[in-house]
Amino acid sequence: MRPSEMLELKRITVIGLGAVGGFLSKCLTACNTVENLLLIDDDKVENKNVSKSIFRKSDIGNLKVDVTKRIIEHISDIKVNTIPEKYNPSMKLPESDLTIDCRDIITPRDSNDIDCKLSISGKRMILDCRKDVDVNERKGYYTEKVSKFDLQNATSKMVSLISNEMFPMFLKNELVYYTSMNDEIESAFKVMKDKINTKDLIYESDHIIEKRVYAFSYMSSLVLEKNKYYSMTVFRSDNPMIKVEIKVGEIQSIKHLCQMMRPLIDMDDYHFFPNLVNNNILELIPEIGAA
């Protein structure tokens, strides 16, 4: 099923329980909305599967669908159904909110039941939401060394995307998204290099703002999200002339928001009640008699 507007992930079908499909199925247990998983695969666990999958040596010889079901039901209340058969487009599948193809074979999209494909290419994990894909059929294989940690980490990021409210846009517009395993490590070292001998921006946040604006953590996250789509005005209700104008997408972080708000706060020692109006106006109400 291909949803058009809202995507309520209660029933998900996963086709193929290799390394990607196994980790995906396990990671989906973190989605609060998921109630049912349908797993499709005809393979049994082999020794070669153990090094790069959720399976263990004791699982060798057992059907992948049975082992995966046992793992999921051990860690969650999700109901798991299985089809221990090789998938083919003529299969009559139960209705799902989302069907994800994780088979390690790259083919032209062979069924309208499939909403997206998750696969590995080099050190990238790719989520392909296109319906008509013109590719030469080939058997999937790892062209670069990929660890179990790489797979788990990349799959977790993909589940975060799939469970995001923006994901229906990916399906509707048939987009392709990938996460690079190499880039993650390189970015981490770049951040480390850039931050050596500089102020700790994580633990030395603006405690003055956080202390004096009620529910600042919730409000600041909301403002950052709204600013992606709206320009904003922040002002003090006791003097509307004291204000800050913010362009669309200008706020880069909560610390950046603090820097913008600080001149409004520092004029006196009041605490403030934040009031977000019409997505684009943040009113700071001083904690005085008028409030």
Reading the block at residue 88, the tokens are 């083919």
- Tokens 């006791």 locate to 238
Segments in the chain forming alpha helices (H): 19-27, 64-75, 148-162, 167-172, 181-195, 207-212, 216-227, 254-265
Give the model confidence (pLDDT) of 144-179 as tens digits.
788 888 899 899 999 999 988 889 988 988 888 988
DSSP state of 10: S
Give the model confidence (pLDDT) of 12-45 as tens digits.
999 999 999 999 999 999 888 999 999 999 999 9
Check: CB of residue 148 under 8 Å from CB of residue 53: yes
Check: CB of residue 243 under 8 Å from CB of residue 250: no
Domain boundaries, the chain: 11-187, 207-286
Output the pTM of the full model.
0.64
Angle between helices 216-227 and 254-265 (to 10 degrees): 110
Separation between Cα atoms, residue 58 and residue 61, nearest integer Å:
8
DSSP string, 202-215: TTS--HHHHHHBTT
Separation between Cα atoms, residue 260 and residue 206, nearest integer Å:
12
Q: What is the reported pLDDT for 136?
A: 58
Give the model confidence (pLDDT) of 40-67 as tens digits.
999 999 999 998 899 999 999 999 999 9
DSSP state of 144: S
Reading the block at residue 209, the tokens are 């703002």
Least confident segment among 48-57, 104-113, 195-204: 195-204
Q: What is the reported pLDDT for 113?
A: 82
Please give the CATH number for the structural domain made up of 11-187: 3.40.50.720
Q: What is the dihedral of CA 164, 5, 225, 199, to 10 degrees?
A: 20
**Better-predicted residue by pLDDT, 39 or 197:** 39
**Nearest 5 degrees, angle CA 233-CA 222-CA 285?**
50
